[in-house]
């Protein structure tokens, strides 16, 4: 079975995913102006994907005998589209860093299922990071 450290990382991932799901949803609602209109729909789509990530991590953690957190990390919406995209890019960078570390730990523990889950979600996070980076250019 998974180590306590890997279970902690799954819970940290859940908290991150819950936070950005809410954060992106509120940004989708609050963005305005021409620059807001260009990103509004994509932010909404990403918010939904992030909620599905939280669910997948929670299901895995529950299977491994852990208790999934219901508390998101700190939510930071931002005020302008520029500020929102900067906050979102940083959030994705933090998730990418965590998920790479979790992949390494899962490999060390021979937990191929948890490793595969993090690998698949990492790919989505890299796409989200790319989107926010392109918007900021």
pLDDT tens column, 80-128: 999 999 999 999 999 999 999 999 999 999 999 999 999 999 999 999 9
Name the H helices within the chain.
4-30, 33-63, 81-108, 112-136
Measured CA to CA, the distance from residue 30 to residue 43 in angstroms comes to: 11
Among candidates 15, 10, 20, which has minimal Cα distance to 125?
Answer: 20
Helices 81-108 and 4-30, packing angle to 10 deg? 160
The mean pLDDT value for 48-60 works out to: 98
The CATH code of the domain that includes 108 is: 1.20.1260.10
Q: Are 18 and 100 in contact (CB under 8 A)?
A: no
The residue range of the domain holding 15 is: 4-136
Q: Tell me how many domains the chain contains.
A: 1
| pLDDT, averaged across the chain | 96
The mean pLDDT value for 13-38 works out to: 93
Model confidence band, residue 39 (pLDDT cutoffs 50, 70, 90): very high
What lies within 8 Å, CB to CB, of 95 at 6+ separation is 13, 16, 17, 20, 125
Among candidates 41, 42, 28, 49, which has minimal Cα distance to 95?
Answer: 49
């Amino acid at each position: 079975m998974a180590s306590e450290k890997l279970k902690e990382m799954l819970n940290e991932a859940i908290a991150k995913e819950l936070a950005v799901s809410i954060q992106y949803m509120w940004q989708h609602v609050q963005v305005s102006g021409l620059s807001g209109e260009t990103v509004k729909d994509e932010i909404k789509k990403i918010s939904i994907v992030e909620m599905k990530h939280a669910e997948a991590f929670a299901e895995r953690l529950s299977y491994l005998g852990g208790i999934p957190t219901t508390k998101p990390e700190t939510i930071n919406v931002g005020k302008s589209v520029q500020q929102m995209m900067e906050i979102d890019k940083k959030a994705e960078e933090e998730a990418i860093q965590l998920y790479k570390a979790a992949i390494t730990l899962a490999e060390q523990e021979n937990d191929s299922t948890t490793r595969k889950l993090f690998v698949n979600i990492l790919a989505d996070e890299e796409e989200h990071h790319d989107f926010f980076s392109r918007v900021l250019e």
